[in-house]
Amino acid sequence: MKCVANDDLRVNPSILRSFCSEALKRLDMPAEDALLTAKVLVEADLRGIDSHGVARLSRYVSGIQQGMMRPNAIPRVVHETACTATIDADAGLGQPVSFMAMQLAMNKAREHSLGFVAVRNSNHFGIAGFYAMMALAEDMIGICTTNTEVLVVPTFARNALLGTNPLAIAVPAGKERPYVLDMSTSTVTRGKLEVYARLEKPTPLNWATDEKGVATDNPSHVLQNIIKRSGGGLLPLGGALEESGGHKGYGLALAVEIFSAVLPGALYANRVYPKDKDGKPLPSGIGHFFGALRVDAFRSKEDFKRDMDDLIQRLINTPKALGAERIYIPGEKEFEQAEQFAKEGVPLNDKVAKDLRAIAEQLGMHRPF
């Protein structure tokens, strides 16, 4: 569960959605796309993933103003078969095109049992789990991946060459909550580093390296190196060493890069987030990958969901480690967190609240919170 500071501001999620949506509309984003983008951002905060929540709005505002993100982009299908498609996002924000892509994957799955849709020429899309979970409403298994800006140092390397490259898988169950895996393939995300930097907290030594490839607990230093591209970065799952399994996280991150970027023809590795000859940022060019599979294409969905419930019960009821109070299924903490924050309000730390107030002042909106 997310650790909430006692002095964090609490905001009703509907107020946050309205604020983010209005800000994006003032930047010429169509109302439907703005509301969807706001919904994805607030959903991240509700689920306790504040690194991908409304704290990202300032990045979107500056990205639109700098020309990196097109608020009124028109995505289009550029290649299609019965079960697959590739969409060009027209350099728009990632949320609208990702929603479109997952809907298309589900449409294909309804007709052909499975559907896979890849996206190129896109931008940051929020939390991957949002799109994978779309499939749950129709008893489908949902899959989502994306590549990201270069942040992760490959095993035995000094410089970053891959992104945090998240992977999400959502699987329906019966009476139990669905299984929802939503994880980066790095030990930690940049957003988490930003949270620690805001709180001025040291990070664990297996999270990141400095420009010499040496482990560091200074998140601000790592973030500055990332901005300046002066070396070092985040570590893949398992850390820096083969002995701790770092090569497995590296391999998984590379697989996500292939599905999300190489497959649809998006930018990959250190080609992402390019700049022109004068150093002006260009559209990021990243890609995404979405999949939907009908459970009843393999067996009856009732039998599948019954066995999912049985599997989950076996896991959560297994003998617990000394001192452990509970065993969780992936996604369970986030569902409970969302229920709590929907009642109590979404916590915003002071830095994020100030950023949102600055956006309101800049765009001539009512000063929020």
Is the pLDDT reported for residue 159 higher than 70? yes
> What is the model's pLDDT at position 1?
58
Q: Identify the CATH number of the domain in which residue 349 sits.
A: 1.10.1530.10
Residue 13 has a CB neighbour count (10 Å cut-off) of 19
Reduced to 3 states, what is the DSSP secondary structure of residue 67?
A: coil
Is the pLDDT reported for residue 278 higher than 60? yes
Q: Is residue 119 part of a domain?
A: yes
DSSP sequence for 101-124: HHHHHHHHHHHHSEEEEEEEEE--
Task: State both tokens at 4.
Answer: 């909430």
> What is the model's pLDDT at position 40?
98
pLDDT band at 192, cuts 50/70/90?
confident
Is the pLDDT reported for residue 133 higher than 70? yes
Q: Which of 148-157, 196-205, 260-269 has the highest mean pLDDT?
A: 260-269
For 199, 292, 315, 325, 336, the CA distances from 133, given in Å and listed in that order, are 31, 10, 22, 28, 15
Bridge-partner residues for 120, per DSSP? 88
Q: Is residue 46 part of a domain?
A: yes
Task: State both tokens at 318.
Answer: 């297994």
Going by the DSSP 8-state scheme, the letter that residue 250 receives in this structure is: H
**Same domain, residue pair 157 and 260:** yes
Is the pLDDT reported for residue 311 higher than 60? yes
Considering the chain, what percentage of its residues have pLDDT values greater than 90?
Answer: 87
Q: Is residue 240 part of a domain?
A: no
Beta strand pairing status for 76-80 and 84-88? antiparallel
pLDDT tens by residue, 96-128 = 999 999 999 999 999 999 999 999 999 999 999
Considering the chain, what percentage of its residues have pLDDT values greater than 70?
Answer: 98
Q: Is residue 256 part of a domain?
A: yes
Q: Is residue 276 part of a domain?
A: yes
**Same domain, residue pair 279 and 134:** yes
Q: Is residue 116 part of a domain?
A: yes
**Same domain, residue pair 22 and 156:** no
Q: Which of 247, 255, 188 is nearest to 217 (CA)?
A: 188
- Stretch 316-327: mean pLDDT, rounded? 96
**Same domain, residue pair 265 and 161:** yes
**Same domain, residue pair 173 and 114:** yes
Task: State both tokens at 108.
Answer: 């294909």
Instruction: State the Cα–Cα distance between residues 337 and 333, nearest whole angstrom.
Output: 6
First CA to last CA across the chain, in angstroms?
24
DSSP sequence for 1-43: -----TT-EEE-HHHHHHHHHHHHHTTT--HHHHHHHHHHHHH
Q: Is residue 20 part of a domain?
A: yes
Total number of domains constituting the chain: 2
Q: Which amino acid is residue 328, in one-letter code?
A: Y
Q: Which of 80, 151, 150, 91 is nearest to 120 (CA)?
A: 91
Beta strand pairing status for 9-11 and 346-348? antiparallel
> What is the model's pLDDT at position 319?
97
200 φψ region: left (φ > 0), alpha (ψ -120 to 50), beta (else): left
For 192, 265, 298, the CA distances from 132, given in Å and listed in that order, are 22, 22, 19
Round the CA-based radius of gyration of the chain to a whole number and report it: 20
Specify the residue for token string 């479109």: 100
**Same domain, residue pair 117 and 162:** yes
Q: Identify the CATH number of the domain in which residue 125 sits.
A: 3.30.1370.60
Q: Is residue 201 part of a domain?
A: no
**Same domain, residue pair 178 and 265:** yes
Domain coverage including residue 106: 84-184+248-317
Instruction: State the Cα–Cα distance between residues 245 and 239, nearest whole angstrom.
Output: 7
- Stretch 153-173: mean pLDDT, rounded? 95
Instruction: State the Cα–Cα distance between residues 227 and 230, nearest whole angstrom.
Output: 8
Is the pLDDT reported for residue 5 higher than 90? no
pLDDT band at 215, cuts 50/70/90?
confident
C-alpha of 167 from chain center: 8
**Same domain, residue pair 151 and 27:** no
**Same domain, residue pair 62 and 25:** yes
**Same domain, residue pair 268 and 153:** yes
Going by the DSSP 8-state scheme, the letter that residue 186 receives in this structure is: B
> What is the model's pLDDT at position 366?
87
**pTM exceeding 0.75:** yes
For 44, 281, 285, the CA distances from 90, given in Å and listed in that order, are 25, 16, 9
Is the pLDDT reported for residue 3 higher than 60? no
**Same domain, residue pair 149 and 273:** yes
**Same domain, residue pair 350 and 307:** no
